[in-house]
Structures are given as structure tokens and as C-alpha cells.
A = this chain, B = another copy of it.
Amino acid sequence: MAEALTLHEDPRSGNCFKIKLTAALLGLPLATRAYDIMKGETRTPEFLATVNANGRIPVLQIGDGPDARFLPESNAACWYLAHASHLIPQERFAQSDMLRWMFFEQYSHEPNIATLRFWLRFVGEANLSAEQRAQVMPKRIAGSAALDLMNRHLARSAFFCGGSVTIADIALFAYTHVAEEGGFGLGDYPHINAWIARIEALPGFVAMD
């Protein structure tokens, strides 16, 4: 019997949504346990000792009780769930190229596009610190460059790694499709919009909360 899967999450987080969307596309049952990161619920001594010493969600829990294992980092959790499925190409270069887009997502996309969404939608512009305020424009520029690169790539390819969906698409979809909540206009990126529509039409697709 397959081990129980539990997602420790904040439902507002796109990083958590990646894992829920991967599970949904694969038809895998996934329990959830919600935390409010705005209230510090992932920084409690119990959370740090048991779930993630790094104090962050999402964390994918595999199994229950004393033998449970905990896997932080959204893209690593997607990798675990999609093991040996059609969402991960098996050919050596294609698989490496898929990971290339997932590392791009964590380095060049998420810190700009997700962070501005968090600041503008959840923290509120009036509540930003001076340091955060100084970062809005650099993140706006870097996030726009990431979207431009994606748009140019998607002009030549239906999904990020060729003609079918992989977990690289799921990773990049999570914050791209809500980028407007962070003040990024998507009107200039027709290939991104067509790709968003393709993902939303996939069998098993679930929307973000």
C-alpha cells in the first residue's frame, strides 16, 4: 500500500499549490494541514523540531507516526510525487533541461514575482519596510525579464520541455498565473497566456485556492 501523503501548507502560497497541482494531475490523494505564515505558525518550536528546521512551508510528509519523512522545498516535493510518471521525462538531456527550468524558477522567477505578490497583496504596500521598498523596482525589472524569457521560449514550444506538460510547467505556472496580483501585467506575453490556457485545460487540473 502506498504511504500516506500530507502537505504542510499555507493555502495562499503558490509554492504549496505546485504540490497540490502535481498530485491532482497524477490522481494522488494528498491530505493537507494548514498554517498561517503571517502569524508565525511555521516558526514554532514544534514545527522546527518535527517538520522543517528551516521554518518554511511547503513540506511534504511521507508516511505517518515515528517513521514519517519530511521533504521541504516545493520543487523537490513535486519531483518526489511525479517519480516514474509522465510528468518527468526520462531521457537524460530532457530531464536535465526540465530541472534547468525548475532552478530558473527558484532563482530568477520566484524571488521576484512571488515576493512582489506577497508584499503587495498580503503585506500591503503601506506596511513595507524601507529595505523592502528599495527592492520593489529591482524585483519588478528582474521579474519582467523572467517573464520575457518565458514568453520567448513558449513562442517555440507548447510546454517548457517540448510538447507535453512536465513538473517544470507546474513550477512556473504557480506564480505566473497570479503574477498580476504582484503588479505584473501579462498582456504583453501572448505565448504565456496561451500556455496558461493549455495548463488550465489539462485533465485533473485544480485551481489555486
The residues of A with any CB-CB pair to B shorter than 8 Å are: 53-54, 62, 69, 71-77, 79-80, 83, 92-93, 95-97, 99-100, 102-104, 106-108, 110-111, 130-131, 134-135, 137-138, 149, 152-153
Contacts and interface: CB of A to CB of B under 8 A. Distances in A.
Given A99-B73, A134-B130, A53 B152 contact: yes
B106 A93 contact: no
22 contacts: A53-B149, A53-B152, A54-B108, A54-B149, A69-B93, A71-B100, A73-B100, A73-B103, A75-B99, A76-B96, A76-B97, A79-B96, A80-B93, A80-B96, A83-B92, A102-B103, A103-B103, A106-B106, A106-B107, A130-B134, A131-B135, A134-B135
Given A62-B93, A135-B135, A76 B54 contact: no
Give the secondary structure class of A's interface: helix
Nearest to A97: B71
Contacts of A69: 93
From A80, A99, A110, A137, name the one whose CB has the most chain B CB atoms within 10 angstroms: A99
Q: Chain B CB within 10 Å — which of A69, A93, A108, A137 has the most?
A: A93
Contact of A138 (B93, B95, B99, B131): B131
Contacts of A149: 53-54
Contacts of A104: 54, 72-73
Nearest to A138: B131
B83 A100 contact: no
Interface centre among A76, A96, A97 (most CB of B within 10 A): A96
A83 B92 CA distance: 7
Given A80-B93, A83-B92, 17 more contacts: A53-B149, A69-B93, A71-B93, A71-B96, A72-B104, A73-B99, A74-B103, A75-B103, A77-B96, A79-B95, A79-B99, A106-B106, A106-B107, A107-B107, A107-B110, A107-B111, A111-B111
A92 B5 CA distance: 14
Given A107-B106, A135-B135, A99 B76 contact: yes
